[in-house]
Amino acid sequence: MTSIATAGVTPFAADLDSLERDGFSQDPQWIRALRKDAMSRFNSLGFPTARRGNEEWKYTDVRPIAQAPLRLARAGEAPEPTASDIAPFLLGDGSWPRLVFIDGFFNRGLSTPLGGQEDASVLSLAGALHSRSATARESLGRLAPYASHGFTALNTAFAHEGAFVHIPDGLTLEKPAHLIFLTASREGHTVSQPRVLVVAGAGSKAAVIETYGSLTGAPYLCNAVSEVAAGPGASVEYYRIQRHSEEAYHVGTTQAALGRDARLDSFTLDLGGALVRNNLNALIDAPDGSCALNGVYLATRSQRVDNQVTIDHAKERGTSRELYKGVLSGRAKAAFHGSIIVRKDAQKVDARQEDKNLLLSDRAEANVKPAFWIYADDVKCGHGAASGRIDEGSLFYLQSRGLGEEEARNLLVQGFVNEVIDKVKRPSVRSHVAELVKARLKEL
Amino acid sequence: MLEIRDLHASIDGVNILKGVNLRINAGETHAVMGPNGSGKSTLAFVLAGKPGYAVTSGQVTYDGVDLLGLAPEERARAGVFLSFQHPVEVPGVRLDQFLRAGFNALQKSRGAAELDPLKFDRLLRQRVKTVNVDPAMTKRAVNEGFSGGEKKRNEMLQMAVLEPKLAILDEPDSGLDVDALRTVAQGINGLRTTENALLLVTHYQRILNHVVPDFVHVLVNGRIVKSGGKELALEIESEGYDKYEQPRGEALPSPA
Ligand SMILES: Nc1ncnc2c1ncn2[C@@H]1O[C@H](COP(=O)(O)OP(=O)(O)O)[C@@H](O)[C@H]1O
Ligand SMILES: [Mg+2]
């Protein structure tokens, strides 16, 4: 395999051509046009490898991705996973709607989709492009801009496989939709490109969980794009649980748009990955929208985790809260780049952002960069950032009660992240996250 | 139970304790009084094993063993408890879970059964009553957002749970109003037995009206300059520490 040029016609263009003649040929015209446009954008953008004038990617060097001999994953190239293979990734009591994707391809046998035309539905996107073409067309590719984002352009160029979650006006998705994206290919250097579309109608309620993981130790790229449209008065819980192997590259972009009075509660957990970049953008484009975007990242050895969170308050009386915490050991590096935009019309906005890092080794590193663009005059904005070691005074306090040094350290680290985990809205997700974090902290 | 002989200790190269001698037997309550900066907290921390202090000479034996040779947690497991003058906030760690971890560490080191959350909860609820604290406090993060009074009561609760043999209380009275002082004092008194001993560090005599000591020691400039019975506390109450702070023609602490 040749490495992918950062611009110019990429090997992916030929892949798309052959897919459009074959697997994608029955898709509606609008999505075929969208893919074509995105492909040409990617051809001219390439991956964001420039090190200068590339503020958004300042802390994440994607050359390892750009230089890897990547190729699109093929359906069925990995042995068919069994129920026990996916068991560690499951959540809930088995009654939840669930879509499982292996190397990016929908696996019907392991999935439990949901939905009739009038009800809430959790469906494979490839199918929904036909059965729900109108709904899909309204939002797909409309929320997540790709004109200047290489990874999003590449994902959009292959938008076909993925998940479609739709909750009609006034309805509640009773059980959370669990979307599980696993890479299983043992050959390595595969690219899978999950695409998620969540459309929550006016006054609806929904919870969506994306789990990312590995059934293989081979390196790969997971390039995910999710679009979440929360209509007026809708309430959406959105969770990302990233459990890739430490060989994996992950770029995940989520673009959410909130209507009037809409509410978004998001939690992002990063445990795995060699190089992870999460973009989470919330556009609050109508009055009184509110969101809480929280996250925990744990990294060790040479892991790189970069969270870029942007909240765009476009209209008045919006509220946003962000709390991210990281625990880093070994030579791990993390970045948190939180941007808050308060536009001219967005009076009485109340925004608060906080990122804290606990460094367990001398060589671990955290870069925190808050950025505010405030164009309205009557707003409340605040931010806090801190990176530090375990407090020796606290350690002594715990030891003076009989706890051994290691137990005391673990309790302090656990306590540090608990503050965020406690904010996970849904108890079943909260306890799942707590268990994963507890187990991963032992490996740090 | 505890014997401190000619204890010298320094921090960051500054000599703070300059020859402390003290002997405490089971069943006794000793008060150490002294002006601010005289080394009271330093003495308490050195006994509890806080890192950063250098013991430059002297010995401390506790139940026949060299206390200074033990790690802080080993001292706790041996029955030493320090009530902090400034209790530490531990965000994200719930008080009941923290206390159970400490309690079980002590149980384990003694070969006694550890308690599961349910059983421990029962014990905790009972101890909460002994020291008269709000039970809801045990579900909050350790000391986080606690008022000054709540923090002090929390120290008493921890003492009630851990049942130390030697409790060192560093100004359990500071910052408390009269009512809070009375409940904290009641808490302390409820935990006094003929088996354990109390080293009560205080700046003011006030608390000694409630927790009546057997012995009072005056610590000034890193040394015990006078020892006596409870009446010594009253004398200090009326006369202050001034007369003990007169320069005595001795070398000043050497600069760092
Ligand atoms: N890290 C330090 N370096 C130098 N001097 C210190 C340090 N910490 C405390 N001290 C000094 O030690 C002395 C005794 O302090 P402390 O034991 O807290 O007194 P007390 O509890 O009696 O008020 C004070 O003069 C204080 O300033
Ligand atoms: Mg003191």
pLDDT digits (tens, 9 = 90+) for B50-101: 999 999 999 999 999 999 999 999 999 999 999 999 999 999 999 999 999 9
The amino acid present at B215, given as its one-letter code, is F
Say if residues B67 and B61 touch (Cβ distance below 8 Å): yes
Q: What is the mean pLDDT of residues A45-57?
A: 83
Number of other residues whose CB lies within 10 A of the CB of residue B70: 17
Tell me the C-alpha distance between B200 and A287, whole Å.
60
Which of A397, A403, A414 has its CB closest to that of B88? A397
**3-state helix/strand/coil string of chain B:** CEEEEEEEEEECCEEEEEEEEEEECCCCEEEEECCCCCCHHHHHHHHHCCCCEEEEEEEEEECCEEHHHCCHHHHHHCCEEEECCCCCCEEEEEHHHHHHHHHHHHHHHCCCCCCCHHHHHHHHHHHHHHHCCCHHHHHCEECCCCCHHHHHHHHHHHHHHHCCCEEEEECCCCCCCHHHHHHHHHHHHHCCCCCCEEEEEECCCHHHHCCCCCEEEEEECCEEEEEECCHHHHHHHHHCCHHHCCCCCCCCCCCC
Which of A401, A411, A415 has its CB closest to that of B158? A401
> How many Å lie between the centroid of ligand 2 and the Cα of residue B205?
15
pLDDT band at A166; cut points 50, 70, 90? very high
Q: What is the mean pLDDT of residues A78-99?
A: 94
Q: What residue spans define the domains of chain B? A: 2-244
Which of B81, B91, B99 has its CB closest to that of A415? B91
Q: What is the pLDDT of residues B131-177, one digit of tens each?
A: 888 999 999 999 999 999 899 999 999 999 999 999 999 999 988 88
**Mean of all residue pLDDT scores within chain B:** 92
pLDDT band at B179; cut points 50, 70, 90? confident
Query: Which residue of chain B has the CA closest to A404?
Result: B73
Q: Which range among A218-222, A255-259, B202-206 shows the weakest confidence by mean pLDDT?
A: B202-206
What are the tokens at B171?
């100004």
Q: What pLDDT score was predicted for residue A371?
A: 94
Q: Is the pLDDT of residue B12 over 90?
A: yes
Q: What pLDDT score was predicted for residue A53?
A: 74
Tell me the C-alpha distance between B183 and A252, whole Å.
56
Protein residues with C-beta less than 5 angstroms from the ion ligand 2: B 40-41, 85
A330 exposure class (CB count in 10 Å sphere: 0-12, 13-18, 19+):
middle
Pocket mutation for ligand 1, best pick of B11, B173, B225, B254 (most atoms within 8 Å of C-beta): B11
Q: Is the pLDDT of residue B241 over 90?
A: no
Q: What pLDDT score was predicted for residue A49?
A: 86
Q: What is the pLDDT of residues A351-402, one digit of tens each?
A: 999 999 999 999 999 999 999 999 999 999 999 999 999 999 999 999 999 9
Write the CA distances from A423 to A63, A183, A217, A322, integer angstroms.
35, 30, 32, 11
Q: Is the pLDDT of residue B256 over 50?
A: no
> How many Å lie between the centroid of ligand 2 and the Cα of residue B223?
15
Beta-carbon separation of B93 and A415 below 8 A: yes
Q: Is the ipTM above a cut-off of 0.90? A: yes
Q: What is the mean pLDDT of residues B235-243?
A: 85
Residues of B with CB under 8 A from a CB of A: 48-52, 71-73, 75-77, 81-82, 84, 87-93, 98-99, 101-103, 105-106, 109, 141, 158, 162
Q: Is the pLDDT of residue A10 over 80?
A: no
pLDDT band at B255; cut points 50, 70, 90? very low
Tell me the C-alpha distance between A363 and A303, whole Å.
12
Q: What pLDDT score was predicted for residue B130?
A: 85
pLDDT band at B246; cut points 50, 70, 90? low
Q: Which range among A213-222, A302-311, A344-353, B172-181 shows the weakest confidence by mean pLDDT?
A: B172-181
Q: What pLDDT score was predicted for residue A290?
A: 98
pLDDT band at A8; cut points 50, 70, 90? low
pLDDT band at A3; cut points 50, 70, 90? very low
Determine if residue B217 is left, alpha or beta; phi over 0 gives left, psi from -120 to 50 gives alpha, anything else beta.
beta
User: Given 3.40.50.720, 3.30.70.1400, 3.40.50.20, 3.40.50.300, which CATH number is that of B2-244?
Assistant: 3.40.50.300
The closest residue, in CA terms, to atom 7 on ligand 1 is B11
Q: What is the mean pLDDT of residues A395-411?
A: 96
Query: Which residue of chain B has the CA closest to A423?
Result: B92
Beta-carbon separation of A400 and B98 below 8 A: no
Cβ neighbours of A410 in B, within 8 Å: none
Q: Is the pLDDT of residue B253 over 70?
A: no
Q: Is the pLDDT of residue A338 over 60?
A: yes
Q: What residue spans define the domains of chain A? A: 72-390
Nearest CA-CA distance, residue A348 and chain B, Å: 28
Q: What is the mean pLDDT of residues A278-282?
A: 98
Sign of CA dihedral B159, B160, B162, B168: positive
Q: Which range among A52-61, A74-83, A189-198, A357-366 shows the weakest confidence by mean pLDDT?
A: A52-61
Beta-carbon separation of A402 and B88 below 8 A: no
Q: Is the pLDDT of residue B208 over 60?
A: yes
Taking alpha carbons only, the member of A378, A335, A371, A367 closest to residue A353 is A371
Say if residues A296 and A308 touch (Cβ distance below 8 Å): no
Beta-carbon separation of A411 and B101 below 8 A: yes
Q: Which helix (H) or strand (E) holds A356?
A: strand A350-359
Atom of ligand 1 nearest to the CA of B85: 21
